[in-house]
Amino acid sequence: MRVLVTGGAGFIGSHVVEALTAHGHEPVVYDVRADPESDVRNPSTVRDALTGVDAVCHQAAMVGLGVGFSDAAEYVSRNDLGTAVLLTAMADAGVPRLVLAGSMVVYGEGRYACARHGVVRPGSRAVADLKAGRFEPPCPVCGADLAPGLVAEDAPADPRNVYATTKLAQEHLAAAWARATGGTAVSLRYHNVYGPGMPRDTPYAGVASFFRSALARGEAPRVFEDGCQRRDFVHVRDVAAANVATLEAGSAVLPQGALTAYNTGSGDPHTVGEMARALAAAYGGPEPVVTGEYRLGDVRHITADSSRLRAELGWKPEVGFAEGMREFAEAGLRGA
């Protein structure tokens, strides 16, 4: 299979390219890092890149929470306009398969249950609560404490920041393309991806990269809030394998004319504080510092139920948390 990989020179994209090659496919890298003309917002170069292509693995995106709402136009341009240009060219070229790098951020907060009111959806956390160190979202009905759980694909979307909003818009665009063309579209909703080749020293990188960059500078990782935020840290090679499994899935599994979403996580949740401590110990650096700081737009707990991806596509993560953190501690980072 000849597969166009947008963002194929990036962190996740480069691992997807390696995995495709290992499985006997022919990846075609399309990335502004490799060629400044290779921007997904450029209709002519996108059309040229799609020549002879059987499927597209769309990894190109502006990622992370960003540095404020001033980034909004750039996020929308790169993520949503870029996706629209790509999908238009795919429709014109008759390319029938799309795998989209989705994100767990489309859910907003994760799944919560109240002892009295069952499963509930808490609203955005109040600034006054965050300033006071009250980080756990309360039950929106009675104000009681909530128990976090695993979020499934049928959870309602509730994006809490600009990046999350653009990732949800990408899914809607892909669904519209699939309906209009009869194509097959899949969004792999990545959870917290980490591993070799993460970008360093950039406000758009993930928390694992922040901590690893700090250790490389001889500094203690700075953990926001109280460090008890729950996340699902999934290794980049497992994410790449999920892309290959999706591309190789037959029409009996993936419907035509619709978008299918799959959570893509390890299934082994850990707190941000646990991750920082494991990484610092593996690196041999200073212990993390819990700062109590917060970022508006961050959510408290978001962990994946990835059983659907396992059951339907036969994928399973291979890199455990401890093993992955030891490798990540020794791996090199790339420039921003």
Share of the chain above pLDDT 90, in %: 89
Tell me the C-alpha distance between 237 and 228, whole Å. Answer: 26
Six token digits for residue 45: 């170069």
Query: Cα–Cα distance between 80 and 172 in angstroms, integer?
Result: 10
CA 224 – CA 203 distance, rounded (Å): 14
Backbone angles phi, psi at 228, to 5 degrees: -95, 10
The count of C-alpha atoms lying within 13 angstroms of the C-alpha of 70, restricted to the half-sphere facing its C-beta, is 2
Q: Which residue has the tokens 């890298």?
A: 29
Q: How far apart are the first and last CA of the chain?
A: 31
CA distances in angstroms from 230 to 213, 249, 267, listed in the order given: 21, 31, 12
Q: Which amino acid is at 80?
A: D
Phi first, then psi: give them for residue 87, nearest 5 degrees: -65, -35
Q: By three-state DSSP, how is residue 1 classified?
A: coil
pLDDT class of 66 with cuts at 50, 70, 90: low
> Which domains does the chain possess?
2-111+149-330 (3.40.50.720)
Helix (H, G, I), strand (E, B) or coil at 118: strand
Question: What is the secondary structure of 27-58 as a DSSP string?
Answer: EEEE-TTT-TT--TT-HHHHHHHTTT-SEEEE
What is the chain's mean pLDDT, rounded? 95
Read off the pLDDT of each residue in 14-29 and give the average, rounded to a whole number.
98
Please determine, for residue 336, whether its predicted confidence score (pLDDT) is greater than 60.
no
Q: In this predicted structure, what is the pLDDT of residue 9?
A: 95
Task: Enter the pTM of the model.
Answer: 0.95
Model confidence at 88, in pLDDT bands (50, 70, 90)? very high
Of 163, 190, 194, 262, which is the active-site residue? 163
pLDDT of residue 91: 98
Distance CA 326, CA 16 (A): 22
Is 190 annotated as catalytic? no
At residue 204 the predicted structure's pLDDT band, cuts being 50, 70 and 90, is low
